[in-house]
Amino acid sequence: MTRIVVVGSINMDLVTQAPRFVGPGETILGERFISVPGGKGANQAVAAARLGAEVALVGALGVDAFGRQLRQGLVSEGIDVDHVAHLHDDASGTASITIAQGENQIIVVPGANARVTPAQVEQAHELIRRADAVLVQMEIPLDTVEATVRLGAHLGVPVILNPAPARQLPVDWFRLARYATPNQHELATLLGADSGTDFRELMQAAPCPIVLTRGDEGAWFREQGEPIHQRGFKVDVVDSTGAGDTFNAALAVFLHEGLPEAVRKACAAAALSVTRLGAQGGMPRLTEVRSVLARQTG
Ligand code: RIB
């Protein structure tokens, strides 16, 4: 079984569906409200587990009602939460999400996620040493992200760095990642480039191999030479929250099949994930990904 370690955030997503986004000082009536598990780290852990991987998560929760609910959700997906810290003096992370007109807006309050430490990564050393791939994103402190890419590089375990939300990173440890998986805006931010620059040029200038996500257009990937396009899978979009997380998880799970096949499966999994409400609501199981791919080729 493929073994994946995820180092990242755990949030409760407070999701409002509305007819449109609200302006400053304005109140409108929404259509629906749900609170569902989210956070980029937890989402990637859940997506990888549903695709059949053995998954451990390194993260932090508050000792509060959300924390208990979020932990229970992870355990029920079969995820090892032994390296999730429980902090008495901080709240669990939350994300206030508005979905309107097929788009989303998200405000994350990190809470306990801001206290995921490099020491926790070191404590997971043995798990990481045995992992087939490690996933890390940027809703946790940057020194913890750095500790993760450094440890992965030291142990020879591929680290997939998902640079979301976008921040500029020191180039020397950016290049320690096996792959970085930005969208176009995140890639420009990472490289300190103008967001209007052609993404293919940016991919070629990046210090590590890039797998660039392009929403319903699919993804572009490059190890050497020219970037290659994998087209997206057409679906009816209900909620795109968590699509990037599903993509990253699938990429990690299928990496041993080679990059082109991993990207193809990641695009299929990400497409399926947007067909239901909530970041984790539409995350597919392996059988669903296989049947989408069989329909495409058959
Ligand atoms: O990537 C989607 C996630 O971003 C949401 O689940 C939300 O918690 C934010 O972290």
Q: What is the mean pLDDT of the chain?
A: 95
Q: Is the pLDDT of residue 168 over 60?
A: yes
Looking at ligand 1, which atom is closest to the CA of residue 94? 8
Rg (CA), the chain: 18
pLDDT in tens, 93-114: 999 999 998 889 999 999 999 9
Dist. CA 29 → ligand 1 center (Å): 23
pLDDT in tens, 145-157: 999 999 999 999 9
Q: Where are the beta strands (DSSP E) in 146-224?
A: 159-161, 179-180, 210-213, 218-222
50, 26 contact by CB (below 8 A): no
Residue 172 confidence class, pLDDT cut points 50, 70, 90:
confident
Q: What are the structural domains, with CATH classification, of the chain?
A: 3-21+32-297 (3.40.1190.20)
Residue 283 confidence class, pLDDT cut points 50, 70, 90:
very high
Q: Is the pLDDT of residue 298 over 50?
A: no
- Listed residue (213, 220, 207) closest to 176, CA to CA: 207
Who contacts 154 (Cβ-Cβ below 8 Å, separation ≥6)?
A: none
- Give the orientation angle of helix 243-254 with respect to helix 40-50, to 10 degrees: 50
Residue 28, CB half-sphere, CA atoms under 13 Å: how many?
14
pLDDT in tens, 11-20: 999 999 999 9
Looking at ligand 1, which atom is closest to the CA of residue 11? 8
Q: Is the pLDDT of residue 74 over 70?
A: yes
Q: Is the pLDDT of residue 297 over 80?
A: no
- Listed residue (118, 107, 15, 114) closest to 62, CA to CA: 114
Who contacts 103 (Cβ-Cβ below 8 Å, separation ≥6)?
A: 21, 240
pLDDT in tens, 191-228: 899 888 999 999 999 999 999 999 999 999 998 889 99
Query: Rounded to whole angstroms, how far apart are CA atoms 184 and 202?
Result: 9
| Residue 23 CA, distance from chain mean position | 29
Query: Rounded to whole angstroms, how far apart are CA atoms 146 and 252?
Result: 19
- The verdict on the CB of residue 41 being under 6 Å from ligand 1 is no
pLDDT in tens, 58-70: 999 999 999 999 9
Query: Rounded to whole angstroms, how far apart are CA atoms 178 and 159?
Result: 5
Average pLDDT over residues 183-197: 91
pLDDT higher at 171 or 125? 125
Nearest residue CA, atom 10 of ligand 1? 39
Using CB atoms within 10 Å of the CB of residue 29, give its burial: 0 to 12 exposed, 13 to 18 middle, 19+ buried. Answer: exposed
Using CB atoms within 10 Å of the CB of residue 30, give its burial: 0 to 12 exposed, 13 to 18 middle, 19+ buried. Answer: middle
Nearest residue CA, atom 8 of ligand 1? 39
245 tagged catalytic: yes
